[in-house]
Structure 1
Amino acid sequence: MTQESLIFYGGLNTIGGVHILYSNGNHSLIFDLGLQLRGLFDIKVQAHPSHGLQQYILTRMAPPVLPIYDKRELEGLEYQAVFDLWGKDKMPATDNINISVFISHIHQDHMALLPYVNEETTVYMHQDAHAVYRGVVVSGEYKDTSATIHSLQDLETVQFEDFTLQLVEVDHDTPGASGFLIKSKEHTIAFTGDWRTHGRNSERMERFITLCKEANVDILLTEGTSLRKESAFDDPVMVQEVEVADHYARIVKEATSLVYVNILARNVERVADFIMKTKELGRKLVMDGRTAALWHESITQGIKSLNGHPSLAEKDTIRVLESDINITKDLPYETICINEIVSNKSNYTIYLIQENTPLISQLERQGEQVGQSHYIHADGNPLTNRDPVLEAWLKEFCVKYHYYATGGHATPKEISRIISEIKPKVVIPLHSLHPSLVDSKGVPKYCPAYGEKVVVTELLSTLRNNVKDSMN
């Protein structure tokens, strides 16, 4: 009988960087391929452009599944060093094995390693996620991948030799976010991807629960980002996604000067709402070139969840900073210079990504002072409302700060609910600083170690015996 197994390479005691290898017969599937948000690398300490993959592998930031990577990126790497780092028993058996990749969504902690994947490897993702990925590439944030990307529709099933993979859309803060159901002859494994129930598509999670119950899921892998010591007894109250654009509108209506907004450009649905709300309020939305390129390429590729949205045809409301003309020369939006903005500040909202924070100095110190400016921080980097550098900039220029983040993740109470309703034989929490804090409502939970190989039948048998022993 074929031995099904899971090897856990990342995302177990940190947020992001989930790297799990599912193997069954002659085929394996790794999910996801991102870089964790915490650890050895940050905005200042980055991998070298020519040796990035090797530096990630040798710091355990990238999974040691070497056959999926471009050989040119591995040139010069001592494979023995990789074996010594992980231990040979933790390396996947790859002889005569086909390995595919599943990307749950286009946040960097789930897809940042895509540029290193070789052309022989097939990558599966939702069609909307693929559209956003094309936008990310065109914006210049990441290099393109050589891999063959196979776009899937919601609920579409891929047949492998010994198992099937069914993509299932979930509610998250970027289009195309998905989990899956893997079904073999013996078992069913469900993966939630990143999810929440306070977004614009909360009904997707109810459907996910139904599909899992119908499939009699054996193993449920769920993200647990919100699991923290302080939330173990006090469930956080989440801002509803539908409220964000309305909050922005309330601030703009009272503002007599500039308004800055900071949201992740990959949250294309929220960008669409902000474009239309800006138009309604009689302002222009000024984007940097990278953000404008990501937006335009994504909607050009086609975001199914935005079908019929008026923002798709809206060009007059968007302006692009003239300094980014090399990026945006082929975009259908008018450019604008700093002097035009400061000459009539109440006409503009500035889409200000973290890297462009210093623009505040030019925009605030020049032109007529017609009132206090406002900064709306709504899930853009930095992903905290206590960033000392941002605080210093806003204090220096007397800009009023508004933190209005919804978050893309479920509350601890919602995580417990989904576990109790699905009733898997075992739940594996991941994508969390404190995965063991999950209240699994009596469902056995298992927290694997880094590099641990779990044979599915053995895990289920052990847990079954443990339950029997506890009842005796």
Structure 2
Amino acid sequence: MNQGHQLEERITFYGGLTTIGGVHIVYSCGDTGIVFDLGMARAFFKGEVSVRSDYGIRSCLLTRMAPPVMGLYDPALLGDVGEAELAQVWGQDQLPQVKNLHGFVSHIHQDHMALLPSLREGLPVWMHRDAYAVYEGVVAAGEYEGTQADIRLIEDGQIVDFGTFRMEFIEVDHDSPGVTGFIIHGPEHKIAFTADWRRHGRNSHRLDRFIERCQSEGVDLLITEGTRMRPDTLFRKPKDRLEVEVAVECRRAMEDTNGLVYVNILARNVERVADLIIRTKEAGRQLVMDESTAVLWKETSAKLTVLAGHQALDVDQEVIRLLSTPQWSKGPQPSKEVELPYESITLNEITANKSSYAVYLTYPNTPLIAELETFGSRESASIYVHADGNPLTPSDETLLKWLTEFGVQYRYCATGGHASPQEISELTTRIAPKLVVPLHSLHPTMFNSGGIRKYCPAPGESFALSELVRK
């Protein structure tokens, strides 16, 4: 590293700058670099207008939904899309390219990992081992294709030497296991990336440790998410439901009715699902899962270091019942033959004794409500608990129409994975970098940096790091 001061450190910003998700940043030092993250925001693709996550990479590149870094992707998927075409799409004469390229995935939400199936064979991609356990689960469940990349597992606190720079990986707290930020130790500069984070989760102390490491190292550039920066949150800190309270709210719903309880949780939040299993048992009910959700739970839960010793692993076989996925469902179908140890159940068995069951109801399977509510007793109203599962809004017209039609009570008890603007400001002022870049936000310019110099880059802007820090 002695010659490192002669190597130019460069940073290029592509995605996630004025959107929630889809962060694409390239850091390079000499001929070695890393792209973080490897997901996509929705933008051009939503609902019926969508492409497969592997073969759709051409459309994603030509709509600036994927970073124009040629060494990332499987050449067989690119076809004749090359650097010249991408430079034209980005309105530039040429695009920075890196010879010795790596990738980084901070966690397994689609806006941070959706490019994984499109990556070239052997590309080194770094992620926390718990994040990879979740990815294996979503692939087995049929939600995503696998990857040809060379996945390299990291631990909290691990430092990896890339030759011209080092990366120190630091686990943070979000609503998915294994979420990891980092500090890049370059020859002249240090960059900290928070990944997605929150203070109202189980492990707020991880953020304090992240801050302490940044303070100790003297960070030049801080890159932080700003999902919740909006006009209505600028002057009033929202009151967040604690993560540990979500499953308790689900149990309360199960105790409040003799009807069915529907629960909608994003299955990738495996820790929350584990808590739900325990609360369901406490309420004297069994939790009915579709095959895809059960596969994701089974494949992931046994591998997660964060769930080691959790009670849910001991009781899931007596709590979970398996419901065959309806033929009409547009939801994912398991792509892997997994031997599930759960006893099967039919719709007739559920409706014959509604007070004994909670139904884990994913959004594509919403029409099951018609059968579950039409048959069996309707003396007690059923309750639908919406806890950060898709759709992510409490005002989804389609969902609310189904619930209204069948007289199902709606309870919204979400607690997302993102920090309040005030918490982001506090983290920034405590770290006290020379410069802060807020992104993963619709309103990054609203960020109150507490006097710390801030910069909001435009898509495609590329800087020598020394130039950006002085800017």
Q: Partner residue of 2:196?
A: 194
Contact kept? 1:90, 1:453, Cα under 8 Å: no
Rounded Cα–Cα distance in structure 1 between residues aligned with 2:322 and 2:47: 25
Cα distance, 1:89 vs structure 2? 4.4
Equivalent residue number for residue 250 of structure 2: 248
2:77 to 61, 67, 73: 73
Q: 2:3 — aligned with what?
A: none
- Contact 1:26/1:98, CA 8 A, preserved across alignment: yes
Could you say which residue in structure 1 is the equivalent of 2:88?
A: 84
Equivalent position amino acid for 1:11 in 2: G
SS in 2 for 1:290: helix
CA offsets 1:139-182 (integer angstroms, 9 cap, x no match): 01100000010010101111011110111000100100010010
The worse-fitting range, judged by mean Cα deviation, of 361-370 and 7-16 is 361-370
1:230 paired residue number? 232
Find the partner of 2:33 among 17, 28, 31.
28
Match of 2:405 among 396, 399, 405: 396
Using structure 2 for the length normalisation, give the TM-score: 0.95
Give the conservation status (yes or no) of the 8 Å contact 1:10–1:63: yes
**1:181-236 CA deviation, whole Å, 9 max, x = no partner?**
10012111000000000000010001110000001000000000000111112221
Runs of 4+ aligned structure 1 residues displaced above 2 Å come to: 48-51, 76-81, 87-90, 322-329
The alignment partner of 1:179 has SS state of strand
Q: Distance in 1 between matches of 2:47 and 2:311?
A: 35
**Code of the aligned partner of 1:183:** H
Shift of 1:77: 2.5
Secondary structure at the aligned position of 1:130 is classed as helix
Kindly provide the amino acid, as one letter, of the partner of residue 341 in structure 1: I
Q: 1:161 to 1:50 in 2, by over 3 A?
A: closer
Contact 2:70 2:83 in 1 (8 A): no
**Within the alignment, does 1:284 sit opposite 2:286 as a pair?**
yes
Among 57, 62, 70, the alignment partner of 2:66 is: 62
Which structure 2 residues correspond to residues 312-327 of structure 1 after superposition, within 5 A?
Answer: 312-314=313-315, 315-323=317-325, 327=334
SS at match of 2:57: helix
Between the aligned partners of 2:152 and 2:443, the Cα distance in structure 1 is 34
Q: Distance in 2 between matches of 1:389 and 1:184?
A: 50
Equivalent position amino acid for 1:52 in 2: G
Aligned to 1:135: 137
Q: Deviations over 1:381-421 (max 9, x none)?
A: 11111111111111101100000111100001000000010
Q: Aligned partner of 1:107: which letter?
A: H
| Equivalent residues of 1:15, 1:225 under 8 A apart | yes
| SS of equivalent to 1:165 | strand
**Where does structure 2 lack aligned partners over 5 or more consecutive residues?**
1-5, 328-332
Question: Pairwise mapping of residues 340-355 of structure 1 onto structure 2 (< 5 A)?
Answer: 340-355=349-364
**Partner-residue secondary structure (3-state), 2:254:** helix
The 1-side partners of 2:214 and 2:54 are apart by 43
5+ residue gaps in structure 1? 463-472
Q: Which amino acid aligns with 1:339?
A: N
Moved more, 126-135 or 308-317: 308-317
- The residue type equivalent to 1:53 in the other structure is I
How far residue 78 of structure 1 moved from its aligned partner, in angstroms, is 5.2
Name 1:469's counterpart in structure 2: none
The answer (yes or no) to whether the contact 2:103–2:126 under 8 Å persists in 1 is yes
1:450 matched to 2:459? The reply is yes
Correspondence for 1:421: 430
Tell me if the contact between 1:90 and 1:451 (Cα under 8 Å) persists in the aligned partners. Answer: no
**Aligned mates of 1:182, 1:173 — CA distance in 2:** 24
Matched, 1:2 2:7: yes
CA distance in 2, matches of 1:375, 1:295: 21
Counterpart position of 1:18: 23
Q: 2:97 aligns with which of 86, 93, 99?
A: 93
Distance 1:152 1:48 in 2: 28
* Distance change >3 Å, CA 90–CA 283, structure 1 → 2: farther
Task: Name the SS for the 2:318 alignment partner.
Answer: coil
Q: Secondary structure at the match of 1:8?
A: strand
Q: Distance in 2 between matches of 1:218 and 1:45?
A: 41
**Counterparts of 2:422 and 2:53, CA distance in 1:** 42
Give the distance between the partners of 1:257 and 1:89, measured in 2 at CA.
64
Match of 1:466 in 2: none
Contact 1:286 1:351 in 2 (8 A): yes
Cα separation, 2, equivalents of 1:210 and 1:49: 38
Query: Is 2:68–2:83's contact at 8 Å kept on the other side of the alignment?
Result: no
Deviations 1:264-303 (A, max 9, x none): 1010000000001101111110111111111110023x11
CA distance 1:194–1:294, shift in 2 (3 Å): same
Corresponding residue to 2:447 among 421, 438, 446: 438
Q: Distance in 1 between matches of 2:57 and 2:97?
A: 21
Cα separation, 2, equivalents of 1:203 and 1:392: 41
SS state of the match for residue 167, structure 2?
Answer: strand
Following TM superposition, by how much is the alpha carbon of 1:331 offset from its aligned partner in structure 2, in angstroms?
A: 1.1
Separation in 2 of the partners of 1:365 and 1:357?
14
Letter in 2 for 1:58: L
Residues in 2 aligned to 1:168 and 1:78: alpha-carbon distance in whole angstroms: 35
In the alignment, the residues of structure 2 paired with residue 434 and residue 49 of structure 1 have an alpha-carbon distance, to the nearest angstrom, of 28
RMSD between aligned alpha carbons? Answer: 1.4
Q: 1:208 corresponds to which residue?
A: 210
2: CA distance, partners of 1:441 / 1:210 = 18
The residue aligned with 1:119 is 121
Q: Name the amino acid aligned to 1:30.
A: V
Paired letter, 1:5: R
Q: 1:212 to 1:48 in 2, by over 3 A?
A: closer
> How far apart are the structure 2 equivalents of 1:175 and 1:371?
36
Which of the residues 294, 297, 306 maps onto 2:296? 294
Residues 273/342 of structure 1: CA separation in 2 closer, same or farther (3 Å cut) = same
Deviation of residue 50 (structure 1)?
Answer: 7.2
The separation in 2 between residues aligned to 1:92 and 1:354, in whole angstroms, is 41
**Equivalent pair of 1:26/1:161 in contact (CA under 8 Å):** no
| Cα distance per residue 1:7-39 (max 9 Å; x no partner) | 1110000000000000111211000011114x1
In structure 1, C-alpha distance between the alignment counterparts of 2:456 and 2:155, rounded to whole Å: 32
How far apart are the structure 1 equivalents of 2:211 and 2:52? Answer: 43
1:385 corresponds to: 394
